[in-house]
Amino acid sequence: MSTNTILRNPVTTKVTLPASVSPAGHTVDSDGVSVTITAGDADARYGSITRELERTGVLKRGMYLYDSSQNEMREIVGISYKDDHFTIASPFTADLSGANLEIIPRSDLQEISLTGISGTATVYDADDNASDLVTGQTVTWNKDDKNRGENGFTGPLIVDATGASVSIQTRR
């Protein structure tokens, strides 16, 4: 069964599809493909921060670490429980230092359709490809496109509609 959902129309800010989550008080530092998590005032009830985040469903392999300042996301390919770090598929353009932990969950979307209402928005895919979305233009990604995620659904997208207006429609 397919479900159509309109997401916050019109969108005039930067959003991710699926929507990113940011556990309060957690920051990350990266050195190449190695990422270390620091929890501000949180205690690790399960022995480590990474284990606790995985148990609560926030951090899993196949999800993406998102850096909004660089408009980049990197797939999480390994998680270590003993030293609160995880591994990403490739390094960010600039290593992260004290950045807020933001995770884009695995997609469950069959299709994403974006329509430019006004201005020019920029859309980034998981391979750091950027494309402009202009007024009146509609672009659709589905699970069979290049932007396909490994789980058989659409891959994640960053939609930067700052100074623009975009209609977003998704299908599960």
pLDDT number for residue 148 = 54
The Cα-based distances of 94 to 29, 34, 97, 101, 104 in angstroms read 11, 13, 9, 16, 19
pLDDT given for residue 158 in this prediction: 96
- Specify the amino acid at residue 144: D
**Residues whose CB falls within 8 Å of the CB of residue 28, separated by 6 or more in sequence, listed in order:** 35, 36, 37, 38, 65, 96, 99, 100, 101
Q: How far apart are CA 125 and CA 43, in angstroms?
A: 34
**pLDDT reported for residue 67:** 95
Which candidate, 172, 171, 169, places its Cα nearest to that of 117?
169
Listed in sequence order, the DSSP H helices in the chain are 49-55
The pLDDT, as a whole number, for residue 19 is 92
> What's the confidence (pLDDT) of residue 103?
92
> What are 52-100's pLDDT values in tens digits?
777 777 788 999 999 999 999 999 999 887 778 899 999 999 999 989 9
pTM of the model: 0.85
What's the pLDDT at 38?
A: 83
Stretches in the chain below the pLDDT threshold 70: 1-8, 40-47, 145-152
